[in-house]
């Protein structure tokens, strides 16, 4: 299978691709999580710290309509584009509007990937008010060591739980800024290039598009061919519940882990020998850094697990198809394409991420 990796702005690079040449786009573009400061229009408000993008990254900007139009042009008629997107409503709405303006069909349900490894990020209002009003900081003896209460980026450590609340703060005890629940789901937007034929059947007969390979993605369960795919994927047995002192796992109906357990048995033995690192809910440090141990650390903040990308590849393509990722990051889509026998084209603007992607993909290419 061929692999083409290029470092530059994807808008310029896609212009070099022929129209109607790509079987699917599977990508994790920037989410524009820093848009709030612009919405408020004040140069020195509480959201100014977000103005440089997610984790201070300048690339944290949603794909433009021009980029999406180029993506549409290179796709084959009826081909699908799957885009990871934040659950945040402002970024999600803006991205859907841009997809529609570019000409994509968006009348499909998204996929939802749920996991158990997210961490709460909400700012505790009561304790922040106490700190702002100069309440006395307390210390306590823990494990034989006196430790002062501390606050780091508005997050309070366990010692800070005993921080004395002011009268004003007590009114807001139990509240958090805005609405920031524990992150437990990511959204995958499903879009399609319009059909060139009048019907899905006609499109399938013409170029094999206008369809998804749902039987490839059935969730294995006992005594039948597998549960028909839902719009929910669950990792890490996140839907397990206790019933009569026993654990009943509803995750089995939506389990990405179970799908991967069965699917990896279909991968040639020579390739399966290099897969042990792949059993993760979200991408582990070991998986992110495999192949670049002697070069650098994979600093990309949103690396996706390869088995999730493999699932999406099997949903949207067949062996021998070409997959484009215009926002390649550190190359996880490309790695999954190697294992799934798809041609891969990856573009990445950030030079540091591109170098990591090259090393990761070349590492595994040499093992096949």
Answering whether pTM is above 0.85, one says no
pLDDT of residue 43: 42
The pLDDT score that the predictor gives to residue 336 is 92
Domains of the chain (ranges; CATH) run 3-112+187-219+259-365 (3.40.50.150), 125-170 (no CATH)
Give, in order, the Cα–Cα distances in Å from 175 to each of 36, 128, 156, 201, 213. 21, 11, 14, 54, 45
pLDDT confidence bin for 241, thresholds 50/70/90: low
Confidence check: pLDDT of 200 > 80? yes
**Please, which residues bridge with residue 190 across strands?**
82
Q: Does the pLDDT of residue 300 top 80, yes or no? A: no
Contacts of 192 (CB under 8 A, 6+ apart): 78, 79, 80, 81, 104, 105, 108, 210
In the predicted structure, residue 280 carries a pLDDT above the cut 50: no
Question: With 60 as the cut, is the pLDDT of residue 360 above it?
Answer: yes
Q: What pLDDT shows up at residue 28?
A: 95
């Amino acid at each position: 299978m061929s692999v083409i990796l290029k470092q530059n702005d994807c808008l310029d690079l896609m212009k070099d691709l022929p129209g109607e040449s790509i079987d699917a786009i599977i990508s994790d573009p920037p989410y524009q999580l820093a848009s709030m400061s612009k919405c408020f229009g004040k140069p020195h408000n509480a959201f100014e710290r977000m103005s440089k993008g997610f984790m201070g990254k300048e690339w944290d900007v949603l794909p433009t309509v021009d980029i999406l139009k180029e993506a549409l042009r290179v796709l084959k008629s009826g081909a699908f584009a799957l885009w990871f997107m934040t659950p945040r409503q402002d970024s999600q709405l803006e991205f859907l509007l841009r997809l529609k303006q570019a000409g994509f069909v968006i009348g499909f349900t998204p996929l939802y990937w749920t996991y158990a490894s997210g961490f709460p990020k909400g700012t505790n209002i009561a304790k922040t008010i106490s700190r702002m009003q100069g309440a006395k900081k307390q210390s306590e003896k823990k494990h034989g060591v006196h430790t002062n209460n501390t606050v780091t980026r508005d997050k309070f450590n366990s010692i800070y739980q005993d921080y004395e609340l002011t009268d004003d703060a007590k009114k807001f005890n139990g509240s958090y800024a805005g609405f920031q629940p524990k992150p437990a789901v990511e959204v995958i937007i499903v879009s399609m290039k319009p059909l060139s034929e009048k019907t899905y059947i006609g499109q399938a007969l013409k170029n094999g598009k206008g369809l998804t390979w749902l039987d490839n993605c059935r969730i294995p369960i006992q005594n039948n061919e597998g549960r028909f795919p839902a719009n929910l994927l669950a990792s890490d047995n996140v839907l397990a519940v206790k019933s009569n002192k026993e654990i009943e796992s509803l995750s089995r109906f939506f389990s990405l882990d179970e799908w991967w357990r069965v699917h990896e048995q279909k991968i040639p033995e020579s390739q399966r020998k290099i897969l042990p690192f792949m059993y993760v809910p979200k991408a582990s440090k070991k998986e992110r850094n495999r192949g670049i141990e002697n070069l650098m650390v994979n600093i990309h903040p949103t690396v996706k697990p390869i088995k999730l990308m493999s699932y999406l590849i099997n949903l949207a393509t067949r062996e021998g198809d070409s997959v484009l990722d215009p926002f390649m990051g550190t190359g996880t889509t490309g790695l999954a394409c190697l294992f799934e026998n798809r041609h891969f084209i990856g573009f990445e603007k950030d030079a540091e991420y591109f170098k990591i992607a090259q090393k990761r993909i070349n590492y595994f290419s040499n093992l096949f």
